Amino acid sequence: MDLTLDLTHRSVLVIGGAHAARRSIARYRAAGAAVHLVTESPAPSAAKAVEWPRSADGWRGLLSTMDLVVLVGATPAIDTTIAALATELRLWLTRERAAATGPVGHVTLVGGGPGDEGLMTVAALRALRDADIVYFDRLGPHDRLADWAPGAEFVDVGKLPGHHAVPQAEIERMIVASALAGQTVVRLKGGDPFVFGRGGEEVLACRVAGVPVSVISGVSSAIAAPAIAGIPVTHRELSRMFTVVSGHAPFTDEQLAHLVGLGGTIVVLMGIGTLPQLSAGLARHGMDAAMPVAIIERAFTDSQRTTVASIGTVVDSSAQAGIRSPAVIVIGEVVRLAHDADVAAVELLDHAARLAR
């Protein structure tokens, strides 16, 4: 059961090693509590250190001034003593996991989804909760980081389109260095870490440095941005495959011919700059000029916008609309199902359903 307590100005006693309890201490301080730490092995810490009581009476005296007691990785003997006193004093007691104490920390690459906090996974929120340091960029959700990772330091390695605020090699160096210093590191990325997110490179950098690394998948904008605009990337009898491509560099003739030959839905990320070359190239390789195209800009933000056109008209339409990154481009019959498409999608659905029978 989860219980939300208002801990503002409340006295919280944390019992455990200073290093093991560092995250618990940070969390209760962030919640506004006055945090006291009792530890057998004093170390510099953010909480006021209290001397380790030598008798049950000593413990009783100390606990009676507290509102909440937190046991972090306590021995069975301490756990029994404190639990009995907490019952006697009608004191709230909670037990928490010790933070990693090994010399090397851990890196978790976390997919934050396309920007809507509702599309963060439970695993992503858990990883953030345990983080000592979070490296994030702008495409992922970041407004509420302070709530999600109350014990963490934040580093914005923000990448604006076409502009890497922090070069990739430097990001890799930083996450590895933090982990080698014993920290629990979260690298929070937009969408899914392995969909044009350079997640593979960051995993390799960790492996090379001997840093344990894991990956938490996220909801990719390649699927979620079309979906929020009403476009399913597959639809029975209409599209039985979807291809996700990066448009950051111009397409070769061979690639364009392949894309036309596939016949399914094409989803383009980072494709606004190369859209004129892509649409002209697809038409040149035989794609019907009437093939529908949708561009979904800034999906899941207040300024989300969908522009629907066709391969033949998309360059003019996007110039007129003043389309900008970040945007997902969808090419295929499924675009007819978009909320903003001005064609009779119902007829199309009906037709597809009849074919499927």
For position 151 contacting ligand SAH by CB under 6 A, the verdict is no
Other beta carbons within 10 Å of 41: 10
Nearer to ligand SAH, 264 or 326 (CB): 326
Q: Does 109 bind ligand SAH (CB under 6 A)?
A: no
Q: Which residues on neighbouring strands pair with residue 330, listed in sequence order?
A: 267, 294
Tokens for 206, please give them.
């960790």
1 as an active site residue: the answer is no
**Considering the rule CB under 6 A, would residue 141 count as an interface residue with ligand SAH?**
no
Region of 251 (left: φ > 0; alpha: ψ -120 to 50; beta: rest) is beta
Q: Kindly report the backbone phi and psi dihedral angles of residue 58, in degrees, each rounded to the nearest multiple of 5, phi listed first.
A: -60, -45
Angstrom distance (rounded) from CA 14 to CA 34 = 11
Q: Is 192 in the site for ligand SAH (CB under 6 A)?
A: yes
Binding flag, residue 233, ligand SAH (CB under 6 A): no
Give the closest residue to 270 by CA, choosing from 253, 256, 250: 250
270 catalytic per annotation: yes
Size of residue set near ligand SAH by CB under 6 A? 24
Question: Is residue 349 classed exposed, middle or buried when 0-12, 13-18 and 19+ CB atoms within 10 A define those classes?
Answer: middle
Compose the 301-340 pattern: x for residues touching ligand SAH by CB under 6 A, - for all others: ------------------------xxxx------------
For residues 356 and 353, give the distance between their C-alpha atoms in angstroms, rounded to a whole number. 5
Q: Tell me the window of 94-102, 218-226, 249-257, 309-317 that interacts with ligand SAH (CB under 6 A).
A: 218-226
Q: Which is nearer to ligand SAH, 183 or 217 (CB)?
A: 217
Among 183, 217, 220, 306, binds ligand SAH (CB under 6 A): 220
Shortest reach from residue 193's CB to ligand SAH, in Å: 7
Q: Which stretch binds ligand SAH (CB under 6 A): 92-100, 185-193, 312-320, 332-340?
A: 185-193
Tell me if residue 57 is catalytic: no
Q: Does 269 bind ligand SAH (CB under 6 A)?
A: yes
Marked catalytic residue, from 132, 189, 192, 270: 270
What is the spatial order of strands in the sheet that 133-136 belongs to? Answer: 153-156, 133-136, 184-189, 106-111, 213-216
Q: Tell me how far, at minimum, the Cβ of 239 lies from ligand SAH, in Å.
A: 20
Q: Is 81 in the site for ligand SAH (CB under 6 A)?
A: no
Which region, judged by CB under 6 A, interacts with ligand SAH, from 4-12, 97-105, 190-198, 282-290?
A: 190-198
CA distance 288 to 282: 9
**Residue of minimal Cβ distance to ligand SAH:** 191
b or e along 138-175 (b: 16 or more beta carbons within 10 Å of the residue's beta carbon)?
ebbbbeebeebbbbbeebebebeeeeeebeeeebbebb
In the structure encoding, which two tokens stand for residue 22, read together? Answer: 């560092």
* 267 near ligand SAH (CB under 6 A): no
Please give the single-letter amino acid code of residue 246. S
Catalytic residue among 120, 130, 159, 291: 159
Strand ranges, E, within 153-260: 153-156, 159-160, 163-164, 184-189, 213-216, 242-246
Q: How far is the CB of 136 from ligand SAH (least distance, A)?
A: 13
Catalytic residue among 137, 189, 192, 291: 137
In this complex, which beta carbon is closest to ligand SAH, that of residue 104 or of residue 227? 227
Question: What interhelical angle do 199-209 and 168-180 show, nearest 10?
Answer: 40
Positions marked catalytic = 137, 159, 270
Chain residues binding ligand SAH by CB under 6 A are: 114-115, 139, 161, 190-192, 195-197, 220-222, 225, 269-270, 296, 298-300, 325-328
